[in-house]
Amino acid sequence: MVASGTFGYGEEYADFLDLTQLGAVVVKGISLAPRPGNPPPRLVETAAGMINAIGLENVGVDVFLESKLPYLRDRHVPVIVNIFGNTLEEYAELAARLDGVPGIVALEINISCPNVKSGGMIFGTDPAMAARVVDAVRRSTTLPLITKLTPNVTHIGEIARAAVGAGSDMLSCINTVAAMAVDIFTRRPKLANIFGGLSGPAVKPIALRCTYEVLQAVDCPVIGIGGIATATDALEFLLLGARAVQVGTANFIQPAVTAEILRGMELFLRVQKLQSVEEYIGTLDRQCLFPFAEIACGMTDLP
Amino acid sequence: MVASGTFGYGEEYADFLDLTQLGAVVVKGISLAPRPGNPPPRLVETAAGMINAIGLENVGVDVFLESKLPYLRDRHVPVIVNIFGNTLEEYAELAARLDGVPGIVALEINISCPNVKSGGMIFGTDPAMAARVVDAVRRSTTLPLITKLTPNVTHIGEIARAAVGAGSDMLSCINTVAAMAVDIFTRRPKLANIFGGLSGPAVKPIALRCTYEVLQAVDCPVIGIGGIATATDALEFLLLGARAVQVGTANFIQPAVTAEILRGMELFLRVQKLQSVEEYIGTLDRQCLFPFAEIACGMTDLP
Amino acid sequence: MSKFLEEALILEQREVAQQTYRLRLRAGRMAEAACAGQFFMLQVREGMDPLLRRPFSFHRIHPGEGNIEVLYRVVGRGTWWLSRCAPQTRLNLLGPLGNGFQLPRNAGSPVAIVAGGIGIAPLCELIHRLLASRGTLEARDIHLFYGARSAGELLPESDLEDLGISVYRGTDDGSLGYDGFVTDLFRKTAEEKHIKPSVLYACGPLAMQYHVARWALEHRVPSQLSLESLMACGIGACLGCALPASAPAGSTADHYVHVCKDGPIFGAESIQWHKIQTHGAPPPIFLYS
Amino acid sequence: MSKFLEEALILEQREVAQQTYRLRLRAGRMAEAACAGQFFMLQVREGMDPLLRRPFSFHRIHPGEGNIEVLYRVVGRGTWWLSRCAPQTRLNLLGPLGNGFQLPRNAGSPVAIVAGGIGIAPLCELIHRLLASRGTLEARDIHLFYGARSAGELLPESDLEDLGISVYRGTDDGSLGYDGFVTDLFRKTAEEKHIKPSVLYACGPLAMQYHVARWALEHRVPSQLSLESLMACGIGACLGCALPASAPAGSTADHYVHVCKDGPIFGAESIQWHKIQTHGAPPPIFLYS
Ligand SMILES: Cc1cc2nc3c(=O)[nH]c(=O)nc-3n(C[C@H](O)[C@H](O)[C@H](O)COP(=O)(O)OP(=O)(O)OC[C@H]3O[C@@H](n4cnc5c(N)ncnc54)[C@H](O)[C@@H]3O)c2cc1C
Ligand SMILES: Cc1cc2nc3c(=O)[nH]c(=O)nc-3n(C[C@H](O)[C@H](O)[C@H](O)COP(=O)(O)OP(=O)(O)OC[C@H]3O[C@@H](n4cnc5c(N)ncnc54)[C@H](O)[C@@H]3O)c2cc1C
Ligand SMILES: Cc1cc2nc3c(=O)[nH]c(=O)nc-3n(C[C@H](O)[C@H](O)[C@H](O)COP(=O)(O)O)c2cc1C
Ligand SMILES: Cc1cc2nc3c(=O)[nH]c(=O)nc-3n(C[C@H](O)[C@H](O)[C@H](O)COP(=O)(O)O)c2cc1C
Ligand code: FES
Ligand code: FES
């Protein structure tokens, strides 16, 4: 899968990969009305990562259904719509509008975007609020629901439990990590929005920890997101127990990266003599071993 | 300043720099009794960062006072002792033991280490608990107190306010970010402790955001920590309003990095025609400008 | 126009002006497909430092020889690593991207081009295309106004003057040619010499582009300004490269164009210049510390 | 013994066995100061990818020529970048670090050396030092047991046999020499040939070291085992490179030694082998994807 906000509406990547290979395309977050997004600058590169403050720029649900969705539907690419509202009512109305639309296989509820003033993070950082959003959406649609969690909380497991309790079928984590950057010469923030969300390889260790905590807290399927750029990265999340992964920032650097990851995972399964990825998912043994040096010599028969 | 846990007890770096250049050395976290630390593996490298799970290995306060402190004291290097306890009583007793010891200029209360089972993070993630620790220490010593905050919370500003309310003279942030890493081949965690703390350049954007939030929440002096490896990095924290910074992980890569940072900062101040760093601290203008392209041509007279 | 990835090979790299390098790359497919004014995203170094690709214009396109040229200035980490690449290094390109320059319809009337600093990069290919398709127009009716902060940052004479076009040089510090901003040089010269361009092309810092845009709007001359923004993807996916734009008719909401897919070439009228606040850039020395 | 930073220059880099490279570095100060068995921390590449330095042993030390040699195997990101460095590349070294091997006091009795895979690296310098200081001992009384997973991973014959020492080779897969683990080769040969070493030196994977350690303890032979751990600083500051160790007398608490400052050379008795659980390493192919 590809992560919301990093793959546009799919079309942008058609020159680089066969979109039908993808498990699903999670499209850029959609709101009821179109949103212009934040003023620029909206991006800044950081060590092994980037901060974005796009501000959920999107064409609105009407234009999406009319002119964006058909492209993916015509190519039989399953679409997961990432939804976002300023109020509970907006979430509910949006979910209702998308209910039963052919081509859409699930909704991903974005309660965790740090880049907008109202809504977003506030819903995502409080278990009770998270539950109310999920509940409102749940009542408005029969589509499977994925709740996308933010890492910017003390106990991500609590939010996870609240979302599942309110009817979320799955969870995805993580959204970006709240961050900022400043320019020492102009003495100003590097983003017009001051704050933004950190993504990319830098956040993978945090995303793995969050995914692990969420998997300990709930029983539902979890989708791993955060810093995935190689098959190895993807397999790490699956090893923890994530049933699927989404690739975000890496798409910008290697537009064909998802195809490469799929190839790499197949190779891995073959080398490891596994029939399917199911046999691998969640097989983490919590006991750690000394991870090195055996490469020099085949011995592994320690006491 | 150099950050706790990354500079040993100072001696380790004497071959590489003149320790008297440093504002202060924050020594490795000290507990009442010696602690052996976690079993290995304790380290793993990640993209532009590293995760550690040392488990607060330390010689204990007695050995510290006897055989570690004198080295720094004899060289007139101001010492800040990073303290850590399993219980409120341990914190208090430790603070009492260090009170009035020549050479020690302040205590840094570590309520935020994610690598130990008891104490640590629990104290650091709840405002009321944080306040109780600070209060206990405050009653046991006349030394200036610095409370070191964890980024692994929903609202770091609340913890900051609680610590200051309980008598902390200063705050330092951030400690490491909770993280994990796994090995896809052995299907095991890469750290014996499973979880560890992420540090290094990867976390700088998070540290800047936390520092900014803390500065908005409280009025006391704040020390910036997290991913600092160059003069530019250090100046970013000062620009936000931090009165000092600590350098951690970068010491491992360039043992003389603190001297280089000091040189770089002096050069910067000279180029910017500033008399002292005081004139620079906290001069952030929150309004963002387009940060680029002017380099090509000297024009800056836009409407 | 489809975009693709191509593994290019560095054939040559030379410092042609202060902190300014010209890179020749073997990239056959790209050379075949690219138009003047388009750009590509370059991975300047293997690995994760730096993480993102960097956008660069096609400075020259040689489909015959299967190679392209890039002219770039070292301004930060990415361009610094790039400047240290030796011949034979492989670099991954993603392109060609963006809309490119349109050649004027009426080939008979003069053309004005304003270049600020490294903004000269895409304009060189444009000049060659203009010359190739100029019809009845004389070479000297192509007027290039070329300024930089200082003499050392200007490309050498021969590269441009030899083409027979009219070149007017200036520097902000007066160290070469006109003493002042290139937009003032342009404004004055256009007035004195009664130059009435059919199209006004420009590339350079946003502050310069603002003045160029104002002139174009005042004089009702169609303009094609090559603009910049910070980019992550270059293909319209991240929505990071926004610039404030005039809203569609009937709307008062904020509106943004995206430099990578709607541009990088824009007409002066499509940008809301008053919403762009720029400032000077840092002295490069600190960027690599 | 003071440690320092030195900017070294790659003089030569050659693949000498499968995935195994020998690097010759000009590093005059380091060559002057280093002892056999010590190591240094190498920044394998400029920038932040990878972030940390990597520890490497001194494979050969040539104070006269002002250079050192490194023998390394490509096992991950860091060593892979290193293997791609061309001559004249500059690399920053931090060293010399650690305690180094002690030469035997009684120069008269034979010495045994067990090398597993890339563990041969520091032992080569040791062998040269032993030869230089051997006094009445004959070269062939230095017994080297050298094993690897497969023939292709062993260093070429000439490098070792030409020295006149007794070399016994083996491979886990039987593709060359003794068919089995090098520790079994050592155990059997020592028994058959009644080799009673005055000191047992070893370097190799921890699983191998465990068997060597057991033999040394059983036979009450003093041992000097060069051990590894993951390192961040190399100078005793991060406390990351811990290995479980026998507690000081009277204590029952967990106790750890730190490979970088207490080692890397340890006696068999100082490590709590039963607390170390190792496992096989990944097939290198995946490490660079
Ligand atoms: C369509 C387009 C075409 C371009 N063509 C050329 C060209 O032909 N030659 C050339 O030298 N430069 C060109 N640029 C600018 C070039 O992309 C930047 O100079 C480069 O990305 C800076 O990377 P860096 O890592 O060296 O700098 P960084 O370390 O990323 O940043 C250093 C400075 O450069 C600024 N910067 C970063 N990215 C950009 C960007 N995309 N555009 C403008 N400034 C930026 C930063 O804000 C900062 O002030 C073009 C930009 C665009 C958008
Ligand atoms: C004192 C000492 C001396 C050494 N001397 C040599 C030498 O002369 N030649 C040589 O080839 N290697 C030597 N090593 C091992 C060498 O440091 C590692 O192979 C190297 O750090 C791996 O880096 P990487 O980036 O390629 O691998 P990574 O991508 O970091 O990791 C790949 C694999 O190597 C393991 N690894 C990482 N760091 C170490 C480490 N410090 N020690 C052991 N395994 C590690 C990882 O756990 C992983 O399984 C020595 C190690 C120590 C501690
Ligand atoms: C430019 C950009 C835009 C994003 N937009 C959205 C969005 O609209 N909705 C959402 O839920 N997440 C959004 N995200 C977050 C990503 O979906 C993903 O959770 C995050 O980037 C972490 O994954 P990564 O490290 O692989 O990029 C965006 C991320 C980036 C970088
Ligand atoms: C190996 C290691 C050990 C650490 N030990 C301590 C400690 O004992 N007490 C403490 O408060 N922080 C400790 N820290 C956290 C650092 O002091 C610092 O807060 C953190 O690493 C972020 O800064 P950096 O990115 O510059 O490393 C440790 C960090 C590392 C990497
Ligand atoms: S750079 Fe990503 S949309 Fe333009
Ligand atoms: S590597 Fe840091 S203490 Fe040994």
User: Measuring CA to CA, which residue among A90, A193, A110, A107 is closest to residue A150?
Assistant: A110
pLDDT value for A124: 85
- Non-local (6+) Cβ contacts of B64 within 8 A are B9, B27, B30, B58, B81
Spatial distance between the Cα atoms of A249 and A5, rounded to a whole number of angstroms: 9
pLDDT value for A302: 32
Residue B113: CB within 6 Å of ligand 4? yes
Give residue B149's domain range: 11-37+56-177+202-296
pLDDT value for D289: 34
Distance D272 CA to ligand 5 centre (A): 56
Higher pLDDT residue, A295 or D7? D7
Q: What is the radius of gyration, based on Cα positions, of chain B?
A: 19
Q: How far is A62 from chain B (nearest CA, A)?
A: 32
pLDDT bin (cut points 50, 70, 90) of residue C285 is very low
Ligand lying nearest the CA atom of residue B6: 4
Coil vs helix vs strand at D268: helix
pLDDT value for C251: 76
pLDDT tens for chain B, residues 1 to 303? 566 667 777 888 889 988 888 888 999 899 999 999 999 999 999 999 999 999 999 999 999 999 999 999 999 999 999 999 988 999 999 999 999 999 999 999 998 755 444 545 578 889 999 999 999 999 999 999 999 999 999 999 999 999 999 999 999 999 999 999 999 988 999 999 999 999 999 999 999 999 999 999 999 999 999 999 999 999 999 999 999 999 999 999 999 999 999 999 999 999 889 999 999 999 999 888 775 544 333 333 333
* pLDDT, average across residues D271-283: 67
State chain C's mean pLDDT as an integer: 90
Considering its fold, how many domains does chain B have in total? 1
Domain presence at residue B197: no
Domain presence at residue A6: no
Residue A193: CB within 6 Å of ligand 3? no
Contacts 24+ apart (CB under 8 A), C217-224: C217/C268, C217/C269, C221/C112, C221/C196, C221/C197, C222/C198, C222/C267, C223/C199, C223/C267, C223/C268, C224/C37, C224/C101, C224/C102, C224/C199, C224/C200, C224/C265, C224/C266, C224/C267
Residue D41: CB within 6 Å of ligand 6? no
Domain presence at residue A208: yes
Spatial distance between the Cα atoms of C259 and C230, rounded to a whole number of angstroms: 9
Q: Are A50 and A199 in contact (CB under 8 A)?
A: yes
Pocket test for ligand 4, best of B6, B133, B245 (most atoms within 8 A of CB): B6
**Alpha-carbon torsion C66, C72, C74, C79, what sign?**
negative
* pLDDT, average across residues D89-102: 96
pLDDT value for B293: 40
Burial of D250: CB neighbours in 10 Å, binned 0-12, 13-18, 19+? exposed
pLDDT bin (cut points 50, 70, 90) of residue C1 is low
List chain A residues with CB under 8 Å of C234: 252
Ligand lying nearest the CA atom of residue B44: 2
Q: How far is A51 from chain B (nearest CA, A)?
A: 8
Spatial distance between the Cα atoms of D114 and A232, rounded to a whole number of angstroms: 35
H helices present in chain A, as ranges: 60-63, 69-74, 88-98, 121-125, 127-138, 156-165, 204-217, 231-240, 250-253, 257-271
Which CATH number is A145's domain given? 3.20.20.70
In chain D, the percentage of residues whose pLDDT exceeds 90 is: 74
Ligand lying nearest the CA atom of residue A249: 3
How far apart, in Å, are the Cα atoms of A234 and each of A19, A207, A216, A221? 18, 11, 19, 16
Domain presence at residue B102: yes
The atom of ligand 3 lying closest to the CA of A3 is 17
Which residue ranges of chain A lie beneath pLDDT 50? 117, 119, 293-303
Domain presence at residue A229: yes
pLDDT in tens, D167-179: 999 999 999 999 9
- Non-local (6+) Cβ contacts of D245 within 8 A are D255, D256, D257, D270, D271, D272
Domain presence at residue A3: no
pLDDT value for D242: 95
Distance B152 CA to ligand 4 centre (A): 14
- Phi, psi of A217, deg, nearest 5: -85, -30
Closest in A8, A37, A42 to C237, CB measured: A8
pLDDT in tens, B133-153: 999 999 999 999 999 999 999
pLDDT value for D1: 63
Q: How far is C192 from chain B (nearest CA, A)?
A: 23
pLDDT in tens, D21-71: 999 999 999 999 999 999 999 999 999 999 999 999 999 999 999 999 999
Range of lowest pLDDT (A236-240, D133-137, D182-186): D133-137
Nearest chain D residue to A267, by CA:
D286
- Non-local (6+) Cβ contacts of C27 within 8 A are C6, C8, C9, C66, C67, C68, C93
Q: How far is D240 from chain A (nearest CA, A)?
A: 13
Q: Identify the helix (H) or strand (E) that includes residue C200.
A: strand C199-203
Does the distance separating the beta carbons of C274 and B290 come in below 8 Å? no
Report field, pTM of the whole predicted structure over 0.90: yes
Residue B279 tokens, joined:
């004139």
- Which residue is closest in CA terms to ligand 1's atom 50? C56
pLDDT bin (cut points 50, 70, 90) of residue D223 is very high
Alpha carbon dihedral C135, C139, C143, C145, in 10-degree steps, equals 130
List chain A residues with CB under 8 Å of D48: 47-48
Spatial distance between the Cα atoms of B68 and A243, rounded to a whole number of angstroms: 50
Does the distance separating the beta carbons of B37 and D239 come in below 8 Å? yes
Q: Is residue D285's pLDDT more than 80?
A: no
pLDDT value for C109: 80
Domain presence at residue B3: no
Higher pLDDT residue, A13 or C265? C265
Closest in B8, B54, B253 to D52, CB measured: B253
List chain D residues with CB under 8 Å of B8: 235-239
- Which residue is closest in CA terms to ligand 2's atom 36? A292
Residue C195 tokens, joined:
């130059």
Q: Are B124 and A154 in contact (CB under 8 A)?
A: no
Does the distance separating the beta carbons of A297 and D208 come in below 8 Å? yes
List chain B residues with CB under 8 Å of C278: 289-290, 293-294, 300, 302
Decide if A297 is catalytic. no
Nearest chain A residue to D287, by CA:
A232
pLDDT value for B114: 52
B96 touches chain D (CB under 8 A): no
Residue C236 tokens, joined:
């319209």
Spatial distance between the Cα atoms of A157 and A212, rounded to a whole number of angstroms: 9
Pocket test for ligand 1, best of C18, C38, C51, C54 (most atoms within 8 A of CB): C54
Residue D289 tokens, joined:
């994807």
Distance A78 CA to ligand 3 centre (A): 19
Instruction: Enumerate the active-site residues of B.
Output: 113
Domain presence at residue B288: yes
